Amino acid sequence: MSEFEKDVQEKTSKQTKQNEVAINSKFMNPDDYSASELEEMEKFYQNSFNDIKEGEIVTGRIVGISDNYINLDVGFKSDGQILKNEFSSTEELVLGGMVDIVIERVEDEDGNLILSKKRADFLKIWDRIMKAHDTEEVIQGKILKRIKGGMVVDLLGLEAFLPGSQIDIRPVRDFDAFVGQTMDFRVVKVNVPTENVVVSHKVLIEETIADQRLEILEGLEKGQILEGIVKAITDFGVFVDLGGVDGLVHITDLSWGRINHPSEVVKLDAKIKVVVTDFDIERKRISLSLKQLLPHPWETIEEKYHLNDKVSGRVVSLTDYGAFIEIEKGIEGLIHISEMSWTQHISHPSQFVSMGQIIEAVILSLDKNNKKISLGMKQLTPDPWEELMKKYPVDSRHSGTARNLTNFGVFVELEPGIDGLVHISDLSWTKKIRHPGEVVKKGEQLDVIVLSIDTDQRKISLGHKQISENPWDVFEREYPVGKIITGKVVRIIEKGLIAELEHGVDGFVPGTLLSTSKIKNFAYCFPVGNELELMVIEFDKENKKIVLSAIAAIKTKNVQEIEKYIEEHKLEKVSVEDIQNAEGGKFDAADFKVFDDQIKKVETEEVISEAKTEPVVSVTEENAVEENTIKEVENEATEETQNSEETDK
């Protein structure tokens, strides 16, 4: 570049600076100043402006006051305005006064500088709160109002949230009582993006009682009695505040008696005394008991209650076998279902008593060592069985209702609650009854005679066949040994068949007395319904047995009749001479035992078959009268069978 070009460029630069100074200086004439003076004035003017950034707190000077606005000089090219209502009524506004504000926007759409005093005040408070959070400083605040989940606190002019769980170490019952109170708080949480603050008063209380809590834990001993305040009540127990340390009284340790909920014994915020039963210092767990402050009620039970005493109590539990009665707190007795009524058949105690009902009972037994009391309700009334001997004497005749049919007999209800058993062997003199349903149906009336009464075992034995005379006295005359009679085949068994004689009595025909050769299929040779001529070869009145022989009857006939017998009954390998030479009155006594066993087997099979069409009511376990009767009947039947076997042998 030439010297001339350099000189022109320098002059142009100086002229440009003069023009800039002239533009920025509205009240000066640049022609009145030299170039060096203008340059110094420009530097001074530029330095008079602050480096302003949006969102920062700066200090401004009041340069104008109007009805609605305050004009402030913040060191910018232009002044800014703030609404007058951003200032409190107590603040003094004078020209030249200094005010801290925040530059919200350097320039809006109209080119104005946007300022905010409220934002500046908030940022100063926020900075104070952040420092308090970092240093765990305690700040005082005022609770303004209640909201969902807690309270709103005025903290240095900023609204903070106080959770309900952070107000006190004990659960708060009435939140409204705290509104308007001034308390100390600690900032426990700060959310910078949302500018939310959470405070706590509870942490200050816990720090205050920390030494007290440690002292309590170190001084704990089992059996120690302490005083505390009921802090919380749950379904499983009560939490007690012992002075900064919580202990639990389980629901089973509140009372010696049964309770449904702890609120039945204690109330919230109540002062109670408790006994330390166990504790774990490391886990800070303390087990307490309230009931152990009182003596166990079983310790003095023998002084209060005696056998046959009449007591009253509340039904607290029902089971399948009885009802538990609370005589007093901690003392319960059992009324077994068998001790509820003399006569009624009770299958469940709910038929007689209900939960919560107050009832009276008599003490039947008392076991202090095992803490058991047996009670009875039926003992409050006279035992009707004591009068049964007068009302139902032996051999007296009555009519009852067939209430229950079993395989071994029928239970007949003589009056409500009084049943007797008619054993299957006492239903008919002449028939081999396979099931009581052959004689009577459930609900039908049945005439009976009282055979025996056992008041101790609560059993009545009845008979139906005894209504009529024993026909075996007549049968003894009608069916003497050697008499030939006609019988109809009614049943086939393993060792022979059963034939029905006149008067409806059954007789046994052994297979060896039907043919001289072994019969493979009795039903084929002697089908049910066939009539036979038979000879009585044995009559046992005592055991009610009649043994018959077809061979003994036919061998007295002529040859043609014997041949006809062999042909009609399809007897194989049998000749006329075989029958004529056979001993028609000789048989194996063991066959009759097989006959009895076979009868029982057939009865069982037919009972099972009949059960498919007609249900048989079985004896229930809860019916003690029937159960005992069954056992006795079965025992008697076993003895009879054994006696019969010995006789046969």
- Specify the pairing of strand 98-105 against strand 57-65: antiparallel
Token code pair at residue 498: 């059963």
What backbone phi and psi angles, to 5 degrees, belong to 279? -160, 155
When pLDDT is cut at 50, 70 and 90, the band that residue 600 belongs to is very low
**Under CATH, what is the fold of the domain 209-293?**
OB fold (Dihydrolipoamide Acetyltransferase, E2P) (2.40.50)
What pLDDT, on the 0 to 100 scale, is given for residue 136?
Answer: 84
Per-residue pLDDT tens digits for 481-496: 888 889 999 888 888 8
> For residue 86, is pLDDT > 80?
no
**SS3 state of residue 326:** strand
When pLDDT is cut at 50, 70 and 90, the band that residue 590 belongs to is low
Residues in the chain: 649
Report the distance separating Cα 32 and Cα 24, nearest Å: 15
Q: Does the domain at residues 384-468+616-644 carry the CATH identifier 2.40.50.140? A: yes
**What 8-state DSSP symbol labels residue 245?**
-
Counting DSSP H helices and E strands in the chain, the numbers are 14, 30
**Residue 2: CB partners within 8 Å, gap ≥ 6?**
none
Report the distance separating Cα 603 and Cα 409, nearest Å: 13
**What 8-state DSSP symbol labels residue 94?**
-
The CATH number of the structural domain formed by 297-380 is: 2.40.50.140
Place of tokens 């009665």: 325
Report the distance separating Cα 103 and Cα 112, nearest Å: 11
**Under CATH, what is the fold of the domain 136-207?**
OB fold (Dihydrolipoamide Acetyltransferase, E2P) (2.40.50)
Superfamily of domain 57-121, CATH level 4? Nucleic acid-binding proteins (2.40.50.140)
Q: Do domains 57-121 and 384-468+616-644 have the same CATH topology?
A: yes
Report the distance separating Cα 345 and Cα 626, nearest Å: 10
**CB of 353 closer than 8 Å to CB of 375:** no
> For residue 438, is pLDDT > 60?
yes
**What 8-state DSSP symbol labels residue 530?**
-
> For residue 131, is pLDDT > 80?
yes
What pLDDT, on the 0 to 100 scale, is given for residue 42?
Answer: 61
The CATH number of the structural domain formed by 472-587 is: 2.40.50.140
Token code pair at residue 566: 């062999």
pTM: 0.41
Per-residue pLDDT tens digits for 300-352: 788 888 888 888 889 988 999 999 998 888 888 999 998 888 777 788 998 88
> For residue 643, is pLDDT > 50?
no
Per-residue pLDDT tens digits for 531-540: 898 998 888 8
Give the other-Cβ count within 10 Å of 500's Cβ: 17
When pLDDT is cut at 50, 70 and 90, the band that residue 32 belongs to is low
**CB of 353 closer than 8 Å to CB of 323:** yes
**SS3 state of residue 534:** strand
Report the distance separating Cα 186 and Cα 182, nearest Å: 13
Q: Containing H/E element for 508?
A: strand 506-510
Report the distance separating Cα 206 and Cα 186, nearest Å: 12
Task: Kindly list the domain boundaries of the chain, sorted by start residue.
Answer: 3-47, 57-121, 136-207, 209-293, 297-380, 384-468+616-644, 472-587
